[in-house]
Amino acid sequence: MRWLAWLEEILIILLMAAMTLITFVQVVARYVFNYSFVWALELTGVLFAWLIFVGMSYGVRVGAHIGVDAGVKLLGPRAARVVGCVAALLCIGYALIVTWGAFQYVAKMYDVGILMEDIPIAQWIPRVILPAGFLLLALRFAQALWRLATGRATSLLADEAQDALKLRQDPLSAIPE
């Protein structure tokens, strides 16, 4: 699955770079040349949506999502892992339900066949990220569940306090591998 992680990271980089470039060109065109690209805002919105949906799964993969874990920290390691497994199962279930709903939505958009407002492409094409993003999210939660179930991980959430202490002691230790 390293190729998927690589693809995820490259996609995030490209999406952010494209959004930045389009926005910069739009600002320069508007304020320097008094010209505006009508499609720039819509394309930036689509790219941002893609960034969000790819970023959700990336956040699960690298443990960047935050949550309230005060109650879980009161439990022992074994009970905390069990709670983490239950939480991961619930997240997988949620992601799969939304994947199915998103797939139905995209299928309806395909059947309707309308174009985007400012870009001459069918609306279903950029919306494909909805089921794809949630399916990728379900996969990442399944991987997290596997790490919890096999004992390779102790928690589903990141520990911000521990990360901050590591960063204070050694700034290079907080950089993910």
State residue 133's pLDDT score.
95
State residue 122's pLDDT score.
95
* Per-residue H/E/C for the chain: CHHHHHHHHHHHHHHHHHHHHHHHHHHHHHHHCCCCCCCHHHHHHHHHHHHHHHHHHHHHHHCCCCCCCHHHHCCCHHHHHHHHHHHHHHHHHHHHHHHHHHHHHHHHHHHHCCECCCCCCECHHHHCHHHHHHHHHHHHHHHHHHHHHCCCCCCCCCCHHHHHHHHHHCHHHHCCC
- The pLDDT profile of the chain, 177 residues, written as one tens digit per residue, is 789 889 999 999 999 999 999 999 999 999 999 888 999 999 999 999 999 999 999 988 887 776 766 677 777 778 888 888 998 999 999 999 999 999 999 999 999 999 999 999 999 999 999 999 999 999 999 999 999 898 887 776 666 656 666 767 765 655 555
Q: What is the pLDDT of residues 120-144, one digit of tens each?
A: 999 999 999 999 999 999 999 999 9
**Average pLDDT over the chain, rounded to whole?**
87
